[in-house]
Structure 1
């Protein structure tokens, strides 16, 4: 387990959790989202497939989304297994309350549960009625939604059709950024803030302009909300983010290709890199490269979410006119990790990393979020810029001119983390997304 403990903080922790600090033998609970006794009945909720009989378009969109993937993601399941081991099942509801709010509140998630024993509605993850049966928001973090299984289906259509299938009601909450905060802002059991895209949004230019999360992640289009119904302004239920499901069979080849194109488009607009330097230097001198990274997102940081787990960095490679590498940082080592990172070989050039780290009371990096005392971030705020300086010796160059290229790269998981979790087959297929690139030329004058 030592290797596993060394890298677990690289694994995305997309889960909620309320309650208060507890000892290893005390059951972690929260009256709202992790009740000791069920507060809703599992059979009081309709399956997504049943909803899809009338809402075909939205069902098909949801079925390819991260919400539908929430409970079958192999990385998530492996992570849950580690937390089960560490706490003997006493904190089994912590991550599940956001990944399956119906199952957690409905009593299907109990200490020591097994995924194989869960009911179908629990395994649907963030299913239709996980959102559309929300009556209010008790807190903007840690599964803060108040479920109303006996109430109407709530959404953003101002004048819903009267239907025999169910009662419908307009809900301004469902069109507000705070609705997303209910699960996407995360605090550990200790109270430490781990993820805060909503908190970032609150002070952002997007919030000042009235642009909500749904404006980007649920883009609108015209179509019928129900089969045979009138054309309305709808919102796409795919919630495109920066990840592509690793589990084979979840998406068809066509669906995966479409998602990959959407993720590429999203990331290509997320940030920009610009590299500058003197246009010429004497051979043998040091070139000062200035690498500026700009967050183009008006609504939240780059990166956002579980920034202490995701990998976002700048690769810089300088070559002479013969194509030989004079200087490099951020290129991949034999293990597939960016050189210069804590997982790369000692002595590598400094890695230009964007993200955050978790540290304990002594300021030392910790391995699990529940062990952390502080969350230290260098993620870029909305529309903010940061400039890195690299000093590049030219003595190794055979001849000029030099070509310097910088690329912002992003990856949802660390391959080292996946291999340590026993998920080697997924480590090999991890995708690195190029967010932006820039290149300059530096002439070498005679010494």
Structure 2
């Protein structure tokens, strides 16, 4: 499809989706259109911070905070704009800088027409002047800026502003407005976070997004007693506003190591893993190892989001008592490329020619969906011939790994000084003994929890590089 035809198609389809919605909900309201408001109609977060300091501290440094300033997003949307002759400018920006869209400060996509408040991404006042929705997917939100702020409490009273209860704030459909992305021309679902949840046992059990992503429980609801603001009544639960996902790449670039550490913790509680390997194996025999991975902690597929660039894979290594490598699958080479992994657990998209693409705006079909659904278990099988003269015992190390994007993609977009953190989501080790070893001497390691990598140790080169990048963008 040519750039001009794509632009016409996107505009017409996007208008239909914005006016009629992408999902049926009760009490739907027309989606707010570009230019309906001015950025002056919205309140800076510094004003909100005066009464909601704890909530502000939760939000600061998160991916919602950096939804627009995220340098990876800025480069991707720039390329998407060039590829589509600007057709995607408003489409992408509607979630990443919603104030910029409703105030018609986007386009141009380079941000030259944007106010400071529009660059604050998904900020306090925008979220709490959402007064309705026209469905889920592609951001069909209705906003009503002004003195009234909406939220999840039906008895809230404010001194600075009026407060109104809206049930939408307690439902996954609030999150689904942006965390469900559909190509408006061909209907291809690009991000299915909401619909994957909707089809899961979690939805049937009425476990909503907020129960996992706005509590202290990481992957399950855990009450967080407190006050929503100064002078507000103490409640049994106040939603945490860090709303952390799995991004460990971007937050440290803005000094938010704590957000990355929470993302690591979330990743490490998302799965359970079992390894089946023989206790003994003679040389010359084929050794079979099965590794089962269960998505036990996420109410959506893992990975999710722009899952065509996410990378989750299993690294399996076998070494002998002298440290010699017997088998290796899924390790990284010196350039950060994954070598010999059985499978990458991600979504593989194809363009109009049927070729794989990581540019979702060019995607027209799904080649493979290798992600793991909620409560789903997948099993990998690895095999090798045990060579002669190995030194027993053998150590089998199975590690489930994750990173936000391929290293070569980040090298291309942000420069080679930016290392993509790799998270060990889960790990299990086992021992294979010489067949002559008595059964009572064959001891298997006790399972232990995976340690959290230290994100405070990010290199000075990375910090300097991203600082220079942000200054250049400004």
1:160 and 1:25, CA in 2 relative to 1: closer, same or farther beyond 3 A?
Answer: closer
Does the 8 A contact of 1:39 with 1:106 survive in 2? yes
> C-alpha deviations, 1:157-192, integer Å up to 9, x for none?
1201143x2211111110101110000111123311
Q: Kindly indicate whether the alpha-carbon contact (under 8 Å) linking 1:281 and 1:442 is maintained by their aligned counterparts in 2.
A: yes
Equivalent pair of 2:320/2:390 in contact (CA under 8 Å):
yes
Q: What SS does the corresponding residue of 1:183 show, helix, strand or coil?
A: coil
Q: For residue 234 of structure 1, give the secondary structure of its aligned residue in structure 2.
A: coil
Q: How does 1:3-402 map to 2 (within 5 A)?
A: 23-24=5-6, 26=8, 28-29=10-11, 30-31=14-15, 32=18, 38-110=35-107, 112-150=108-146, 152-163=148-159, 165-189=160-184, 190-219=186-215, 220-232=223-235, 233-246=237-250, 250-251=254-255, 255-256=256-257, 258-297=258-297, 299-340=299-340, 350-360=341-351, 363-375=354-366, 376-395=368-387, 398-402=390-394
Per-residue deviation, 1:272 = 2.0
Do structure 1's residue 440 and structure 2's residue 436 form an aligned pair?
Answer: no
Distance in structure 1 (CA, Å) of the matches to 2:317 and 2:96: 40
Give a deviation string over 1:311-350, Cα, whole Å, max 9, x none.
100000011221111110110012112112xxxxxxxxx4
Within 1, Cα distance between the matches of 2:415 and 2:259?
A: 22
Tell me the equivalent position of 1:3.
none
Report the counterpart of residue 16 of structure 1 in structure 2.
none
Answer whether contact 1:275 1:289 (CA < 8 A) is retained: yes
For normalisation by structure 1, the TM-score amounts to 0.85
Structure 2 alignment gaps of length 5 or more: 20-30, 216-222, 437-474
Do 1:38 and 1:105's aligned partners in 2 also have CA atoms closer than 8 Å?
A: yes
Relative contact order: is structure 1 or structure 2 higher (C-alpha 8 Å, sep ≥ 6)?
A: 1
- Range with greater deviation from structure 2 (260-269 or 189-198): 260-269
State the shift of 1:441 in Å.
Answer: 1.7
Q: What is the alpha-carbon distance in structure 2 between the residues aligned to residue 247 and residue 131 of structure 1?
A: 20
How far off is 1:397 after superposition? 5.6
Determine if contact 2:249/2:421 at 8 Å carries over to the other structure.
Answer: no
Q: Is 2:316–2:397's contact at 8 Å kept on the other side of the alignment? A: yes
User: Normalization by structure 2: what TM-score?
Assistant: 0.81
Q: Deviations over 1:391-447 (max 9, x none)?
A: 112126623222111100111121100111143222x2x21111111112223448x
RMSD: 2.3
Aligned equivalents of 2:245, 2:131: Cα separation in 1: 26
Distance 1:205 1:291 in 2: 24
Distance 1:237 1:397, change over 3 A: farther
Q: CA deviation at 1:22?
A: 6.3
